[in-house]
Amino acid sequence: MLGRSLALGAALLGLAALEEPALAQGAGEQFLPRLVYRTGAYAPNGIPFANGAADYYTMLNERDGGIGGVKVVMEECETGYATDKGVECYERLKSKGATGAAYVSPLSTGITFALTEKVFSDKIPLLTLGYGRSESRNGAVFPWNFIALGSYWTAADVAIQHIAKELGGMDKLKGKKISLVYHDSPYGKEPIPALQLRAQKNGFEFTAIPVTHPGVEQKSQWLAIRQNRPDYVLLWGWGVMNSVAIQEAAAVAYPRDKMIGVWWSGAEPDVTPAGDKATGYKALLLQHPAGKFAVHADIEKHVYAKGQGVGKDTLGQVLFNRGLIDSMIGSEAIRTAQGKFGKKPLTGEQVRWGFENLNIDAARIKALGFEGMLAPFKFSCADHQGADMARVHQWDGKAWKVISDFYTADRSLLDPLVADAAAKYAAEKKITPECAKS
Amino acid sequence: MLYREAGQFKSSYSADMAMFPIRQDRIALALLLVVAFFIVPFVASDYFLRAILVPFLILSLGAIGLNILVGYCGQISLGAGAFMAIGAYSTYKFTTGVHLPLDWFGTEISIPPLAVLPSILLGGFMAAIVGILFGIPSLRIKGLYLAVATLAAQFFFDWVFIRVKWFSNYTPSGSVAAPELNFFGLVVHSSIERYLLCLAFVTVFAFIAKNLVRGSLGRQWMAIRDMDIAAELMGIRPFYAKLTAFAVSSFMIGISGALWAFVYLGAWEPLAFDINRSFQLLFMVIIGGLGSILGSFLGAAFILILPIFLDQVPHALGIPISVETISHLVFIIQGSLICYLLIVEPHGFARLWAIAKEKLRLWPYPY
């Protein structure tokens, strides 16, 4: 009997805990929800990114006492890369802290699609660094989405440009066969329209080969590639799918140096499980390479030396560095917004202003310690992406080596795609495209 | 003492066969409905309504639907996720307008965009039709073999909604966004409105289900479940009984799929209704109690709410554990609880509830 009443008491306590409003967070602190995945099939890639994003804020708190003196408080929530879990995490964290969530960065295209519907009414910016809805570049239709630095359409275009360069010119693409092996989800399907457009324009033959989630079974896909013998294979995978693809490519003797991954398929966890088979594999770079820069020294000094931080063993990896950039863009947006609204915890709506007016020039990049990692960029209402550049790097068996200069995606080709898709979305959702007056 | 039916005399057959024959049950249910409709929306936080109660109600509806098929009619189904997907995508198509060119017949089907409520109901009907189609094999194959046949439905519809671009209105990403939830001019937007909408749907369909299972149809289902040959000899047509079970079950699951997509997620992809969703619903039914409407709610609460709650305990208590450890712990705790429960009470929460009721009748003087 006692046991039963204890169980009942525990259950009631549990309900109370679920109901518990945000407490323990000081009034003078900026709250930042962190949707991460450190478990499941996508954890190998989710962990370094989450580590980098977290350690950057820990470093800001330790070194500068936060952003403009306002300490940043983070809370992680495990999504497991699942959309419904991501929505739950978002709802759980969106109104915590003194002013609610500053912004959300879910690192999942599926969750981004679901949250895009919700941030409109919750007024929370959605930072999607190099992933998410490609058409959300149009800030008049998607005021809350910030698809910073690149979309899948940018990536597709740059990948084709690199292939053309390897072949010796755009005209050499004619008659070539290019296959896309993609994760069968919104993430993997996004680049297809851009690639079809390129195929039409440059006259290559394009085939898209889907791989079902989570991508551990790819035998039939690579058999199709063995029969079809495409000149190049583009890989749009995430998590274990990437390393499996590289191993399957080796099994059918498809040359790894004819494979080009998107920037989400080009990190250490993607190639190390494949061992020697991964040597020669190429992938796009979302501007920044692997390695350590000035900002890493600060993190080592202010975070790891004090026994804090979570990502010591992933420091300097590709995805760790991308996590750093993600947090850098977010924190700079908050800093920009502080310039207008004052040095205090800001609401999502105020941070959105900061994003839209964010201008990271070369001097600022140097001051932040990101010199060599990325090029200057600037957001505006019409352009929530800010940059169109990417490079290519290659795995030499031990490390990633940058093998190309910066490519710039052809906006004359992609902008009509963005405009079309955004107009369609606006019509479906009855949005009047308009830039906020600020 | 409080829960005793002594003195409640039934003077007619209809009173004896009432949905809730005991007066205390009726009072408790009325109170529960009053609390759910009039008190919960005003005291519960935004997060609690939107991220816990809304999915709980929607999946409860799905579990009720599946319970009719598995619990009452004894036809094991692993295709619940597919029927949810059919409900969701049909509703999406009806709200955005259906244009299906039938060139072979020299005609085309063209339906203008419909309002949300009729679309959701039509979505349920589409699921029911497909349910009947996939129920036909149940007349020949039984038990686990039927589970495999319904599994085929699951994979088939996963494939259809990923590959046939018509269903997602040719969006390049394959992800579709639900249109505005406009119910006769009232736009459902806030958490309270979403919660009340789901609650209304679930209340109506739970009553319908409760009513069906005590009537002629429900008795036919249960007769088929308990021994199909005997049922047939008694004059029950297995064809009719099984296919109605498939139809009613798929209808409710389809409605819950439509609500899951439109009210909870807002934007979705076929992955939202994959095989894991089918398993989730089946576990809710098994843990909650086969052949019990109340069990469907209890099972949904256990499978859906318990992990969310466990996930937040360490943080609420201020224990610093990393998120991955917590999420592994949640798996371990919930897994052990499921094993424990199935060993101690294989008939699920509904049976525990029934035992509690029996004890309450004797309390405080048990013999």
- Tally the C-alpha atoms within 13 A of residue B116's C-alpha that lie toward its C-beta: 17
Above 60 in pLDDT, residue A222? yes
The reported pLDDT for the residue numbered A254 is 95
- B240/B174 same-domain check: yes
**What's the rounded Cα separation, in Å, for the pair B161 and B271?**
10
Angstroms from B224 CA to nearest CA on chain A: 37
Domain boundary among B274, B307, B324: B274
Burial of B24 (0-12, 13-18, 19+ CB in 10 A): middle
Which of chain A's residues have a Cβ under 8 Å away from the Cβ of B323? 36, 38, 76-78
**What's the rounded Cα separation, in Å, for the pair A265 and A284?**
8
- Of the listed ranges A7-21, A26-40, A119-133, A268-282, the least confidently predicted one is A7-21
Q: Does B13 fall in a domain?
A: no
Considering only CA atoms, which of A152, A147, A126 is closest in space to residue A136?
A147
- B266/B336 same-domain check: no
Q: Does B67 fall in a domain?
A: yes
Residue of B47, B162, B267 with shortest CB distance to A92 = B47
Angstroms from A368 CA to nearest CA on chain B: 28
Q: How many contacts, defined by CB atoms under 8 Å, are there between A and B?
A: 115
Interchain contact, A18 vs B266, CB within 8 Å: no
Confidence band (pLDDT; 50, 70, 90) for A280? very high
Determine contact, residues A113/A71, Cβ cutoff 8 Å: no
- B188/B328 same-domain check: no
Residue of A17, A76, A186 with shortest CB distance to B313 = A17
Angstroms from A339 CA to nearest CA on chain B: 31
User: ipTM of the predicted structure?
Assistant: 0.88
B189-216: b (≥16 Cβ within 10 Å) or e: eebbbbbbbbbebbeebbeebbebbeee
Interchain contact, A83 vs B316, CB within 8 Å: no
Residue B175 contacts A where some CB pair is shorter than 8 Å: yes
Q: Does B338 fall in a domain?
A: yes
Cα four-point dihedral sign A313, A316, A320, A326: positive
- Look up residue B92 and give its amino acid: Y
- B294/B260 same-domain check: no
The reported pLDDT for the residue numbered A22 is 43
- B227/B337 same-domain check: no
- B260/B296 same-domain check: no
- B207/B239 same-domain check: yes
Angstroms from A78 CA to nearest CA on chain B: 6
Above 50 in pLDDT, residue A19? no
Interchain contact, B312 vs A36, CB within 8 Å: no
- B118/B252 same-domain check: yes
- B96/B236 same-domain check: yes
| H runs (alpha helix) in B289-347 | 293-300, 306-317, 323-344
Alpha carbon A216 to its chain's center: 22
The reported pLDDT for the residue numbered B324 is 87
The reported pLDDT for the residue numbered A26 is 56
Chain A, nearest residue to B189 by Cα: A121
Q: Does B279 fall in a domain?
A: no
Confidence band (pLDDT; 50, 70, 90) for A23? very low
Whether a cis peptide bond, with omega within 30° of 0, leads into B366 is no
The reported pLDDT for the residue numbered B6 is 80
- B264/B306 same-domain check: no
The reported pLDDT for the residue numbered A125 is 95
The reported pLDDT for the residue numbered B336 is 95
The reported pLDDT for the residue numbered A21 is 44
Which of chain A's residues have a Cβ under 8 Å away from the Cβ of B322? 38, 76, 310
- Tell me the whole-structure pTM to 2 decimals: 0.90
Domains of chain A: 23-150+291-388+419-429 (3.40.50.2300), 152-285 (3.40.50.2300)
Residue A185 contacts B where some CB pair is shorter than 8 Å: yes
Q: Does B114 fall in a domain?
A: yes
Interchain contact, A84 vs B189, CB within 8 Å: no
Count how many domains chain B has. 2
The string of pLDDT tens digits covering residues A98-110 is: 899 999 999 999 8
**What's the rounded Cα separation, in Å, for the pair A360 and A374?**
10
Residue of B45, B313, B327 with shortest CB distance to A21 = B45
Chain A, nearest residue to B324 by Cα: A38
Confidence band (pLDDT; 50, 70, 90) for A20? very low
The string of pLDDT tens digits covering residues A44-95 is: 999 999 999 999 999 999 999 999 999 999 999 999 999 999 999 999 999 8
**What's the rounded Cα separation, in Å, for the pair A371 and A368?**
8
Give chain A's radius of gyration (CA, Å). Answer: 22
- B258/B313 same-domain check: no
Q: Does B135 fall in a domain?
A: yes
The reported pLDDT for the residue numbered A437 is 55
Residues 118..157 of B with a Cβ closer than 8 Å to A: which? none
Q: Does B3 fall in a domain?
A: no
Domain boundary among B246, B274, B302: B274
Which residue positions in chain B have pLDDT lower than 50?
Answer: none
- B235/B314 same-domain check: no
Measured N-to-C along each axis, helices B54-67 and B238-259 cross at an angle, to the nearest 10 degrees, of 170
Q: Write out the residue range of the structural domain in which residue B166 sits.
A: 62-274
Determine contact, residues B255/B261, Cβ cutoff 8 Å: no
The string of pLDDT tens digits covering residues B63-82 is: 999 999 999 999 999 999 99
Residues 296..325 of A with a Cβ closer than 8 Å to B: which? 310
Interchain contact, A17 vs B51, CB within 8 Å: no
- Tally the C-alpha atoms within 13 A of residue A355's C-alpha that lie toward its C-beta: 36
Q: Does B177 fall in a domain?
A: yes
